[in-house]
Chain A
């Protein structure tokens, strides 16, 4: 028989409550004796190598940079958080001091919660240091907006959950192998979350924080929609409460009837919160400018954010962008100028270029030429940055020119998701020719129904022939036939 198995003596009625100071002292002891600070050099190296490097590759837009927290920094943290929490949770059993600590005045559950709290506090401190560095550098570069805090809150909630799960696993299965296995499990969960985010269309995948992959201009034209973040917080906090309450419901937790009842209430509340979050996420629907959960949605967030555009000239045409893109305006005008010169004075040629918000729901992302006089409405989903997911200056220029020429010749319906330009072979040939004249090499198109190499070669040959015409001849032909070409009534053979 050990002390753990011995029946607890009933607490005397006149016994006073334990001093809160002793709880603080216990927390302070746990903070000092925690393994998490040993992870900081490693986590700092991973932060610099992965999250910070990636974020600095993105444009200086707050929400875009903040996405590195959820997509890069969080997965880097979770393995170590779960592993260290499991290590701390199994400490008393590994060191064979359970009997010793079970005999102390504090219920075992309270002491365990203190150890978990100390671990989580260290985790939060380390994570917030990384956030401070990332946001501090972004503050020195951004020309618009402010730091988003919802992603930070969601990340902290997920780290607290990983810490609780790891701690619970360490408590239930104390072994030197628990920590690495918990780390593997946590990272596997993180990988699966990401896989669900990119590979599946189920709304429930949104419960994973790594699901959130924002557009470049999130938070610039419209407010950041916190609906999904709120549901994620409910889900993560609910599960954390359940994991911690399960520790208190064990007999070995020495919690006593009152604390055991409290643990049960916490478990039920946690389950209710997580269940509610799952129910809410099921009602989520993707709109043009973010994901909306009707029960959590604040209509005030639908109002566009007012701003004064920043303008410049490209081949005599005013080009206006959002002030957050101020630094990219020279790149935009330099990219559009050659194309605007090619199509100047043709019917439907834009008299102005305005940046508009990215619309994920349509292949053109919202690019169109509309109005009288015509205005080229240009979404900019990526900026010229040297990142693995972004674009370099050459591909950025190509994207802008291809967007303008495609919209001008084929129309917004000419965009094909994840493919070359659509439209008829003649339209494709003219698009290619105009892009060649703008000195942009691009892929030969293969529109609907003409995917063969032979057809692509014919389009390329026609494009070369059309581009070789004298500028005045080409311009005159376009002026005369542009409406027919747009209508799709011109064949490749009819191109000069």
Chain B
């Protein structure tokens, strides 16, 4: 038998169009992307952070007033940033990069959306009691440390990217106790400090750009 003897198959019946908004290809892509990054788990973890912040403020876990009172909030903000950083990890690696035309936009949306969710969660948790620095402080610290985490994810991969915000948090704790004035240690600066805000914003912007363009580095998981 040769190829000439083969019969041409019948043209396939046109696939039935998906019904409902949730089955729209674009939304389905977004949903699958969010699922692959474990976004529901991330949102639950952010909610847990908000609860811990609320408990810390309600039960006065902080050390005294002034900068000492910022220690627990900065720790929780670092935790939120760490959670966002580990969501950058992709379970697919290179195949996803090779085929995903919309991937940069999805990564951008995920990172920005999660940062907004983290800010909202922290702000909600901070309503329990007076938070020194207020919500502006939460926004600056969370965004800046998220930038650190996303930058580290591009270098080490998403799995261990949580170490970046954690290491920065320890430096920030030292800065808080030592009343450091460097704007690069933004958690130790007042919320309206322009330099600190610019530094945090710069790091966040760099992290978002790198996360959008490159994403987390694909490394073999340990």
Contact = CB atoms under 8 A, between A and B. Distances in A.
B116 interface: no
Given A180-B86, A194-B63, A198-B63, A46 B79 contact: no
A239 to B, nearest CB: 21
A79 B222 CA distance: 19
B67 interface: no
Interface centre among A75, A95, A177, A194 (most CB of B within 10 A): A177
Contact of A175 (B38, B52, B158): B38
Contacts of A181: 45, 48, 79, 83
A179 B52 contact: no
A176 B86 contact: yes
B199 interface: no
Interface string A103-118: 0000000000000000
Nearest to A198: B63
B63 to A, nearest CB: 5
Contact of B222 (A38, A183, A188, A198): A38
Nearest to B159: A176
Contacts of B194: none
A91 B177 CA distance: 36
B72 interface: yes
A180 B63 contact: no
B61 A195 contact: yes
Nearest to A76: B170
Interface string B168-211: 01110010011000000000000000000000000000000000
Given A34-B222, A180-B86, A181-B48, A83 B170 contact: no
A7 interface: no
Interface centre among A45, A184, A187, A199 (most CB of B within 10 A): A184
A50 B174 contact: yes
Given A94-B221, A188-B52, A191-B72, A177 B45 contact: yes
A39 interface: yes
A192 B62 CA distance: 8
Given A95-B221, A184-B76, A199-B63, A38 B167 contact: no
Contact of B42 (A49, A177, A179, A388): A177
B86 A177 contact: yes
Nearest to B79: A184
Nearest to B81: A180
A95 B62 CA distance: 38
A42 B76 contact: no
Contacts of B41: 175-177
A183 B45 CA distance: 13
A87 interface: yes
A42 B167 contact: yes
B150 to A, nearest CB: 14
A35 interface: yes
Grouping DSSP codes into helix (H, G, I), strand (E, B) and loop, the A interface class, with mixed when no group exceeds half, is helix
B138 interface: no
A184 B178 contact: no
B120 interface: no
B166 A191 contact: no
Nearest to B37: A176
A76 B174 CA distance: 10
B63 A188 contact: no
A80 interface: yes
Contacts of B79: 180-181, 183-184
B103 interface: no
Contacts of B142: none
Interface string B150-173: 000000101110110111011100
Nearest to B160: A38
Contacts of B163: 39, 42, 80, 83
Interface in A67-96: 75-76, 79-80, 83, 87, 91, 94-95
A80 B166 contact: yes
Interface string A10-52: 0000000000000000000000011100110010011001100
20 contacts: A39-B163, A42-B163, A46-B170, A46-B171, A49-B171, A49-B174, A50-B171, A50-B174, A176-B86, A177-B41, A177-B42, A177-B45, A177-B83, A177-B86, A188-B61, A191-B61, A191-B75, A195-B62, A195-B63, A198-B63
Interface of B: 38, 41-42, 45, 48-49, 52, 56, 61-64, 71-72, 75-76, 78-79, 82-83, 85-87, 89, 156, 158-160, 162-163, 165-167, 169-171, 174, 177-178, 221-222
The 6 tightest CB contacts between A and B, nearest first, are A180-B82, A184-B79, A180-B162, A177-B45, A35-B222, A176-B86
Given A187-B166, A191-B61, 6 more contacts: A38-B156, A46-B170, A184-B52, A188-B61, A188-B75, A192-B61
